[in-house]
């Protein structure tokens, strides 16, 4: 098991969260707390950079959905960047690839905003 690390940085479009390690039952609340602590405003883009996400279970997927709900509640948008193949497969299976904007990397996620 790899510990979860969430690094928050600002981009012109809004906050970018770099998520590293395992996003699972034990660590999903940390992502929820981090997103809850953000000050999102209407028109911003919240980007979740999953380049170094090692593992994501159903609790992790639920935390991603919760992040989306938080963003929408504040009038912001959300995008996932650099989604690992294993997580992309899960998102496709459950239809969340139709709910989240998914980009190859953070640069492309923030470029079109």
* pLDDT per residue as tens digits for the range 82-101: 999 999 999 999 999 999 99
* pLDDT per residue as tens digits for the range 44-81: 999 999 999 999 999 999 999 999 999 999 999 999 99
For residues 33 and 104, what is the distance between their CA atoms, to the nearest angstrom?
26
CATH topology of domain 5-108: Transcription Regulator spoIIAA (3.30.750)
H or E segment to which residue 37 belongs: helix 28-37
Angstrom distances, CA of residue 5 to CA of 2, 15, 111:
9, 16, 25
In the chain, domain spans? 5-108
């Amino acid at each position: 098991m790899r510990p979860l690390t969430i690094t928050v940085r600002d981009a012109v479009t809004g906050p970018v969260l770099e998520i590293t390690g395992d996003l699972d039952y034990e660590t999903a609340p940390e992502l929820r707390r981090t997103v809850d602590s953000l000050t999102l405003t209407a028109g911003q883009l919240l980007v979740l950079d999953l380049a170094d996400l090692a593992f994501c279970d159903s609790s992790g997927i639920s935390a991603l959905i919760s992040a989306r709900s938080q963003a929408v509640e504040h009038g912001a948008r959300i995008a996932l960047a650099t989604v690992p193949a294993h997580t992309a497969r899960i998102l496709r299976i459950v239809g969340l690839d139709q709910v989240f904007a998914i980009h190859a990397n953070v640069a492309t996620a923030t470029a079109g905003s």
